[in-house]
Amino acid sequence: LVLMERFPEGADPLPARMYPVSQRDAFKLMHRPQTAADLDKAHGRLKFEGLVGLSLVREHTRLEALAERGLSDSGAHATPIKPSSTLASALSALPFKLTEGQREVYEEVLGDMQKDEPMNRLIQGDVGSGKTVIAYLVLMAAFGAGHQGAL
């Protein structure tokens, strides 16, 4: 916190519109929380900042890799994948019905796969929430359209 005293006001790496708690306040709340909610706010801000940082590093790495191959990011294109009988068979062969949340994510991912833009997606959830079955169904959609994949 001694360093925070010297940290200039307004030098937050994230704009206020991105997260309601400033970095300065998050550090203060982390070290001297008044309530459990204060600690949650601080953790939330620092986790969000970490995700933003990881996203920026990943994007920078991706752009560097393209540049090394003499490629640019402009005009990125993907072949749209339409649902097929392979996907329908895979879905009907499941020994259970998808939950509402699983179906929602599944339909959202399939919707993105039908666009001609590259898709980059991370599915998060608790253990046993159905991430693997969604990945399997998405893989079957790609397989049914003549593409390859691995799970």
Nearest to 3 by CA among 28, 20, 37: 28
| Confidence (pLDDT) at 107 | 92
| Confidence (pLDDT) at 132 | 93
What pLDDT digit, counting tens, does each position of 77-119 carry? 777 888 888 888 888 999 999 999 999 999 999 998 888 877 7
What pLDDT digit, counting tens, does each position of 22-48 carry? 888 898 899 999 999 999 999 999 999
Relative orientation angle of helices 100-113 and 131-144, to the nearest 10 degrees: 30
What pLDDT digit, counting tens, does each position of 4-18 carry? 566 566 678 788 888
| Confidence (pLDDT) at 74 | 66
| Confidence (pLDDT) at 17 | 84
